[in-house]
Chain A
Amino acid sequence: NAGVTQTPKFQVLKTGQSMTLQCAQDMNHEYMSWYRQDPGMGLRLIHYSVGAGITDQGEVPNGYNVSRSTTEDFPLRLLSAAPSQTSVYFCASSYGIFAPETQYFGPGTRLLVL
């Protein structure tokens, strides 16, 4: 079991560029989510998915898109990066939608937007 993997670990973008943050899990988890972590702000939920083909918005969805074509993968897309999206991004997954205590977090992607 690799758990939750995220790529890349670090990325620098220019304003207006697009990119996709990859997230994959090999635990057959239904529930996957993306958070951003900013200094003094804790973690804030961006988008989440309760299963393949089903996604929904979290607390801070603007500027981000997601899709869930398979159980394993949950990529996060930035269509036009802005400096305000400089952050550390964490992907997480859990066995069920009502079981956050089973949530596993990936190691994070550090994104810098210039």
Chain B
Amino acid sequence: GDSVTQMEGPVTLSEEAFLTINCTYTATGYPSLFWYVQYPGEGLQLLLKATKADDKGSNKGFEATYRKETTSFHLEKGSVQVSDSAVYFCALKDGGSQGNLIFGKGTKLSVKP
């Protein structure tokens, strides 16, 4: 079945460092890909998305490019802030599903001042 694999955390960075969180997927068909963020004590929020190969999703300085050839959707940010400390989830929705999402296990990011 479909699955999402994320890099293990936690990831600890200093403020203004470059961030990469790796995400790869396995899916039949042509899935849509998402990154969600969960701040402490809150529910998940959609961060960005990409619906087809070579699409780049971006929001709040975060970017991810849908790479069909490597089945990847890595999350990047050029300069992280303390306020970016959260858990990040990669997810996919298969084109043939009823809208249900399949999530990775999540990567906890801590940014130190």
Closest to A101 in B: B49
Which bracket fits the contact residues of A?
20 to 34
A100 pairs with B93, CB closer than 8 A: yes
- Chain B residues, CB < 8 A from A45: 100-101
Find A101's partner among B4, B32, B42, B104 (CB 8 Å cutoff): B32
Bound CA–CA A44/B3 (angstroms) = 12
Which bracket fits the contact residues of B?
20 to 34
User: A100-B34, A101-B34, A101-B49 given as contacts; is B99 within 8 A of A43 (CB)?
Assistant: no
Closest to B100 in A: A45
B89 pairs with A50, CB closer than 8 A: no
A43 pairs with B103, CB closer than 8 A: yes
Chain A 94-114 near chain B by CB (<8 Å), digits 1 or 0? 101111111111111000000
A33 interfacial contact with B, CB 8 Å? yes
A74 interfacial contact with B, CB 8 Å? no
Bound CA–CA A58/B97 (angstroms) = 12
Shortest CB-to-CB span from B46 to chain A, Å, is 6
A105 pairs with B89, CB closer than 8 A: no
B113 interfacial contact with A, CB 8 Å? no
18 more A-B contacts (CB under 8 A) besides A50-B99, A108-B42?
A42-B89, A42-B104, A44-B103, A45-B100, A45-B101, A58-B100, A90-B43, A94-B99, A101-B34, A101-B46, A102-B46, A103-B46, A103-B101, A104-B43, A105-B43, A105-B45, A107-B42, A107-B43
